[in-house]
Amino acid sequence: MNFPRKSPTFYSLKKRNTSLTPHQFHYDVFLSFRGEDTRKTISDDLYNALIEAGIHTFRDDDELPRGNDISSELIKAIRESRASIVVFSKDYGSSRWCLDELVEILECKRTVDQLVFPVFYDVDRDDVIRQTGSFEAAFARHEFRFDGDKVEKWRGALTEVARLDGWELCHHASRSEKSEFVQEIVTKVRHKVKPKLFVAKHPIGLVSRIEELKSLCKDRLDDGCVIGIHGPL
């Protein structure tokens, strides 16, 4: 009996979508930002707040000069993240590595339904969408240095991601406004991502507590008991 041939295109897409199933996500969030602009301001505050909320977050802490392309470790981290937060700043568009990250993030959004949350810090959303303002000068340099197809891919990624629902904040905002801003992002991301409990590979200080718990249970096994356990959420 002859069976109809499967469409090669359909098989290719199915193969790609099932190559990274939800249970294989290692991080809840990948944090993309231009280090020189926001590492010691909004990005640092946001990272710390995400960690405190129990959201397992990856950020690139490597401040050393990079090669021509983003590292395989960064690509792997993006692909293993359930969501990405992209912090757009005035000089985000001048970094080819940030732009390459953005292209990879957008690819994951399309292929594995990665959630993407844009944050606009001291930059106008329209400038990101249309590559005007500080982005215009950056792309004038890119078009002189890089292949046209690559530059168009960067432009397309900026436009598509910047049109997603996100948050905008001016650097002149007060400390309390910034704190509320960060907490609003964390609350929304936590609701969408629903992070699972992250346990370190080699947890420290748990063995003695587990032994104490076993002892309490053993001593009251015949009578029955209720034991309360408390700690940070």
**CA atoms of 132 and 139, how far apart (whole Å):** 9
DSSP summary character for residue 132 = -
- Is residue 101 part of the annotated active site? The answer reads yes
Helix H, strand E, coil C: the string for 181-207 is: HHHHHHHHHHHHHCCCCCCCCCCCCCH
Structure tokens belonging to residue 27: 């991080």
Contact status, residue 92 vs residue 123, Cβ threshold 8 Å: yes
**CA atoms of 169 and 89, how far apart (whole Å):** 10
Catalytic position from the list 36, 52, 73, 101 = 101
Partner residues linked to 14 by β-bridges: none
Contact status, residue 117 vs residue 83, Cβ threshold 8 Å: yes
**CA atoms of 126 and 132, how far apart (whole Å):** 8
Residue at token pair 């959420």: 233
Which residues touch 75 (CB under 8 Å, ≥6 apart)? 104
Contact status, residue 53 vs residue 190, Cβ threshold 8 Å: yes
Q: Is 116 helix (H, G, I), strand (E, B) or coil?
A: strand
**Catalytic positions, please?**
101
